[in-house]
């Protein structure tokens, strides 16, 4: 046999043994995950193609890293919530822990490279979490220069830190020795009332950030200003104070003598921002004007509340805004990162678009140049008759396409119980409360909020698969019982508890308004939701038509008390999905401890991997080298308010080596 046939024969044997480019041993696309949402536009899409629908069932745990940062409520108010999505740049994975430690790991082995501890003050923080960090390279300095590559993290106690990506040391030329004080100009803060939980947006050499302001505390809460800082020096480049057009604010001092540079009580931007560098726009999802459930004294200050706002990246001026809820008194703030995509037109052209998911289960498709809807949005009459002093909006915006992915109402047939007694108890509870659909006005008698303030869709946002023309998102379907409490009743209850040496009721104060507030989930005596399942779903939407391609239950009851049965009902969830080039959707989020893979074509579940704790985070995926392994990584640390299992694990899955 000649040499050439031998080589061909040997090559054929290797091909048969190793398979084509879709097999575990193949070469393929290297893929980074350099932003919280994979890219600056928040698509949560990866070009990594080693893991396919055909081999995903072979996934196994490749490595686990323990951060050591978990608290079950002994040191913090409720405990830690590990909602982080790591990023990968080069061969390094970067993440932040709930108490603002930054960790750098070898992306292929999970071996620790360095740890930075911000020594954050978590006093008063309702939720102790950090969703992500950001990465920036200063192309103006030599490749070997100190702090050429930087990792930025906002903290729960209102700082922005800049670290050398190679060493984890503070970048001394940023702010004051590596730290910018985000409380500057904010004025008086209560413990835990003002801080950062989301990664900053990097636009060119700008670092843009909003901040979390605790809900329902007081009318004069810290302002919701969005600010841009120089990524090199930390100097303030611009600030956007979300005041209605025509209103201005003059710098003053508060009762404690602290400088107040930004109007207090305005809508904040606690979630994740997105950017379009070509258009020079920053897309900001906004929360509510303080407080959430009473707006009788806002005097138009909620012009930018519950909106997506496009800011000029150079100046911070508002280019346009689209409001998803008018005069929001339901805590229906916009919780998720806007996602950018090209909207396909019938003639083959495309429009630069942005989609905004909301807690109501509404998806608004907008031209990202102008904010104009790409599908018709109708202003529909909604129930009236709020409490004295309230000024409800007579109409609310409803998208016609896509159709709402959360039911907008429920009927008698939707009442659920595991037994006739359980269902009857739910029916009695429902009949005692006011309910007139999605925008039922708040009342002192109590009302049912459905969708709840939990969602619908929450901070997990959506994933965009442009090749398949698909949007993927997850929803929660839970009802909440909410009641406004007259101020005199609130104060009397607190004084009575004080006189008896007891803890006061866990009511949210809404100081400065006539009403405090209390809210609980609508549950049966057995602890299950009073409305029929699914209580959580995974949904696929056609990007061109807005039609629904699939909807499947997300999660089982396996890890839910009181009955730990693995019923495939779909359960409440927090976190979001990602999509890959090969047509896979990865998501955990549900209240059972699993990471799952679904088909992007059909929504069929293809694989699930057990996690050591709750997966209330959004996963990510990457492949460092063409001949390396593709990893799918998720933070498994649980969510204390959802009562899922708490932990400190970063879990990486891959195909067998």
* DSSP code string of 406-419: S-S---GGGB--SS
Rounded distance, CA 408 to CA 451, Å?
Answer: 7
pLDDT of residue 16 exceeding 70, the answer is no
Mean pLDDT of all residues in 180-197: 96
Spell out a b/e string for 87-110, using b for 16 or more CB atoms within 10 Å of the CB, else e: bbbeebbbbbbbbbbbbbbebbeb
Banded model confidence at residue 26, pLDDT cuts 50, 70, 90: low
Of 203, 192, 194, 196, the residue nearest 179 (C-alpha): 196
CB atoms within 10 A of CB 467: 11
| Distance from the first to the final alpha carbon of the chain | 35
| Paired sense of beta strands 92-96 and 87-89, if any | antiparallel
The partner residues of 260 in beta bridges, in order of sequence, read 252
DSSP for 417-438 reads: -SSHHHHHHHHHHHHTSB--ST
Instruction: Give whole-number Cα distances, 306 to 318, 343, 579, in Å.
Output: 15, 24, 27
If pLDDT is split at 50, 70 and 90, which confidence band does 564 have? low
Q: How many CB atoms lie within 10 A of CB 362?
A: 26
Query: Residue 17: which H helix or E strand, with range?
Result: helix 3-18
> Which of 382, 481, 471, 395 lies closest to 431 in space, CA to CA?
481
**Fold of the domain spanning 132-337:** Lipocalin (2.40.128)
Q: Note the pLDDT of residue 430.
A: 97
Note the pLDDT of residue 8: 29
Across the range 605-628, mean pLDDT stands at: 97
Strands 377-381 and 395-399: antiparallel
Coil/strand/helix, residue 493: helix
Is 90 exceeded by the pLDDT of residue 241? yes
Question: Is 249 within 8 Å of 243 (Cβ atoms)?
Answer: yes
pLDDT of residue 17: 35
Q: Is residue 114 classed as helix, strand or coil in its secondary structure? A: strand
Domain ranges of the chain: 132-337
Exposed, middle or buried: residue 161 (CB in 10 Å: 0-12, 13-18, 19+)?
buried
Q: Is 657 helix (H, G, I), strand (E, B) or coil?
A: coil
Provide mean pLDDT across the span 488-496. 93
β-strand partners of 609: 595
pLDDT per position as a tens digit, 393-428: 999 999 999 999 999 999 999 999 989 999 999 999
The lowest-confidence range among 156-165, 277-286, 500-509 is 500-509
Query: Which value, to the nearest 10 degrees, does the dihedral of the CA atoms of residues 28, 32, 36, 40 take?
Result: -100
Tell me the three-class secondary structure of 40-93, residue by residue.
Answer: CCCCCEECCCCCCCCCHHHCEEEEEEECCCCCCCCCCCCCECCCCCCEEECCEE
For residue 98, give every residue at least 6 positions away whose Cβ sits within 8 Å of its Cβ, in sequence order, or none.
Answer: 69, 70, 71, 80, 81, 82, 83, 84, 128, 129, 130, 637
CA distances to 88, 402, 562, 593, 634 from 588, rounded to whole Å, are 20, 24, 21, 8, 8
Q: Which residues are catalytic?
A: 331
Q: Is the pLDDT of residue 242 over 80?
A: yes
The confidence score (pLDDT) of residue 24 equals 43
Residue with tokens 């280019």: 319
Confidence of residue 30 (pLDDT cuts 50, 70, 90): confident
Average the pLDDT over 501-508 and give the result: 89
Mean pLDDT is lowest, of 122-126, 394-398, 411-415, 447-451, for 122-126
In three-state secondary structure terms, 270 is coil
Average pLDDT over residues 44-53: 97
**Cβ neighbours for 433, distance < 8 A, ≥ 6 positions apart:** 445, 446, 447, 448, 481
CB neighbour list of residue 399: distance below 8 Å, 6 or more residues apart: 362, 363, 364, 365, 373, 375, 376, 377
Rounded-to-integer distance, Cα 614 and Cα 637, Å = 6
What's the pLDDT score for residue 27?
65
Tell me, letter by letter, the H, E, C secondary structure of 195-211: ECCCCCEEECCEEEECC
Contacts of 257 by beta carbon, 8 Å cutoff, 6+ apart:
none
E strand map for 324-433:
339-344, 350-357, 363-367, 377-381, 395-399
User: Which position has the token pair 């991997």?
Assistant: 609
């Amino acid at each position: 046999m000649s040499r050439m046939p031998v080589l061909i024969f040997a090559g054929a044997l290797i091909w048969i043994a190793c398979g084509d480019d879709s097999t575990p041993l193949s070469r393929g696309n290297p893929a980074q995950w350099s932003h919280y949402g994979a890219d600056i536009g928040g698509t949560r899409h990866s070009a990594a193609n080693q893991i396919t629908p055909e081999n995903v069932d072979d996934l196994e745990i490749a490595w686990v890293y323990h951060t050591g940062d978990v608290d079950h409520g002994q040191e913090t108010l409720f405990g830690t919530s590990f909602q982080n999505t790591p990023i990968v740049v080069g061969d390094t994975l970067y993440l932040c822990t709930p108490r603002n430690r930054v960790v750098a790991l070898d992306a292929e082995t999970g071996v620790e490279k360095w740890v930075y501890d911000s020594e954050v003050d978590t006093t008063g923080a309702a939720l102790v979490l950090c969703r992500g960090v950001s990465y920036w390279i200063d192309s103006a300095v030599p490749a070997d220069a100190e702090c050429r590559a930087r990792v930025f993290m906002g903290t729960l106690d209102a700082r922005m830190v800049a670290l050398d990506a190679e060493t984890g040391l503070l970048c001394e030329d940023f702010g004051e020795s590596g730290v910018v004080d985000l409380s500057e100009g904010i004025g008086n803060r209560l413990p835990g009332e003002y801080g950062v939980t989301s990664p900053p947006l990097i636009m060119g050499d700008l670092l843009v950030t909003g901040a979390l302001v605790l809900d329902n505390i007081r009318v004069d809460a810290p302002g919701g200003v969005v600010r841009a800082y120089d990524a090199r020096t930390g100097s303030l480049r611009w600030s956007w104070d979300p005041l209605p057009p025509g209103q201005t604010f003059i710098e003053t001092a508060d009762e404690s003598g602290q400088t107040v540079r930004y109007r207090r009580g305005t809508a904040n931007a606690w979630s994740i921002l997105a950017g379009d560098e070509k258009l020079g726009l920053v897309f900001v999802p906004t929360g509510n004007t303080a407080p959430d459930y009473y707006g009788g004294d806002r005097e138009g200050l909620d012009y930018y509340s519950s909106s997506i706002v496009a800011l000029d990246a150079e100046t911070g001026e508002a280019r346009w805004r689209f409001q998803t809820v008018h005069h929001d008194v339901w805590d229906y703030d916009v919780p998720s990162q806007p996602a950018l995509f090209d909207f396909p037109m019938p003639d083959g052209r495309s429009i630069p678009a942005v989609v905004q998911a909301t807690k109501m289960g509404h998806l608004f498709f907008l031209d990202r140049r102008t904010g104009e809807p790409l599908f018709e949005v109708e202003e529909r009459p909604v129930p009236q008759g709020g409490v004295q002093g309230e000024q409800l909006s007579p109409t609310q915006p409803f998208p016609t396409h896509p159709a709402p992915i959360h039911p907008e109402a429920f009927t008698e047939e939707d009442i659920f119980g595991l037994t006739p007694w359980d269902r009857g108890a739910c029916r009695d509870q429902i009949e005692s409360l006011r309910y007139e659909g999605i925008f039922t006005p708040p009342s002192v008698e109590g009302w049912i909020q459905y969708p709840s303030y939990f969602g619908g869709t929450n901070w997990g946002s959506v994933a965009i698969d442009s090749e398949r023309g698909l949007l993927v998102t997850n929803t929660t379907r839970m009802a909440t019982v909410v009641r406004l409490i007259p101020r005199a009743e609130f104060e009397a209850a607190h004084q009575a508890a004080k006189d008896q040496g007891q803890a006061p009721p866990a009511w949210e104060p809404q100081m400065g308004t006539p009403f405090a507030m209390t809210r609980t989930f609508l549950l049966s005596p057995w602890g299950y939701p009073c409305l029929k399942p699914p209580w959580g779903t995974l949904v696929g939407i056609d990007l061109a038509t807005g039609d629904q391609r699939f909807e499947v239950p997300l999660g089982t009851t396996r890890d839910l008390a009181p009955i730990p049965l693995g019923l495939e009902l779909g359960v409440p969830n927090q976190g979001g999905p990602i999509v890959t080039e090969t047509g896979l959707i990865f998501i955990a989020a549900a209240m059972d401890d699993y990471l799952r893979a679904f088909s992007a074509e059909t929504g069929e579940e293809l694989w699930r991997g057990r996690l050591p704790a709750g997966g209330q985070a959004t996963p990510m995926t990457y492949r460092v080298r063409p001949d390396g392994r593709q990893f799918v990584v998720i933070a498994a640390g649980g969510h204390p308010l959802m009562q899922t299992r708490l932990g400190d694990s970063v879990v990486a899955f891959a195909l067998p080596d």
